[in-house]
Amino acid sequence: MTAHIDLVENHWATAYQERVARVVLDSEHLQVDADPHWQELVLGVLARTGLAEGSEPALRALAERFKSDYVFATALHTDDECPFAEAKRIPVQSGVHRDAEKNRLIVPNGH
C-alpha cells in the first residue's frame, strides 16, 4: 500500500471538494503529483520544514501546514483508504462521516 496525503480544495459555492495534489511517500523521497502551481507550493513548504524530504515526519509536517477552510491536507492514508481513489472531485463532506461502501471520509487535520 502506498502511503500519501491529498491536498484538497473546497469549492463551497458548488459543493464539491477537489484533490489538487497527491503527495506520495516512497522509500527515498516524496513524489508530488500536481500541476506546476501546486507542486511549487508543496515543494516550498517541504523545503521550509528542514526535515529529510523522503521522511514520514516531512509528510506529516506538510499536512500540518495546509489547514484552512479552503485548502487542507488529509491525514496520511493508504490508497485503499483514499476518498479520491475513484474521482478527483467528490461532494463536500460535512463533519466526521464515513460512507463505508464508498469509503469517503474528509476531515481536515485539526478539526
pLDDT of residue 68: 84
Identity of residue 100: A
Residue 100 lies in a domain: no
Residue 66 lies in a domain: yes
Residue 31 lies in a domain: yes
Read off the pLDDT of residues 87-109 as tens digits, 9 standing for 90 and up: 999 998 754 333 434 434 444 44
CA distance 65 to 47: 12
Residue 108 lies in a domain: no
Q: What domain range is 12 assigned to?
A: 3-91
Overall domain count for the chain = 1
pLDDT of residue 34: 96
Written as tens digits, the pLDDT of the chain (111 aa) is 678 899 999 998 899 999 999 999 877 778 899 999 999 999 888 888 877 666 778 877 888 888 888 899 998 888 899 989 889 999 987 543 334 344 344 444 444
CA distance 102 to 8: 18
Q: Is the dihedral of CA 4, 20, 53, 57 positive or negative?
A: negative
Residue 12 lies in a domain: yes
CA distance 36 to 74: 20
Residue 107 lies in a domain: no
Residue 8 lies in a domain: yes
CA distances to 58, 66, 69, 98 from 24, rounded to whole Å, are: 11, 16, 23, 23
Residue 98 lies in a domain: no
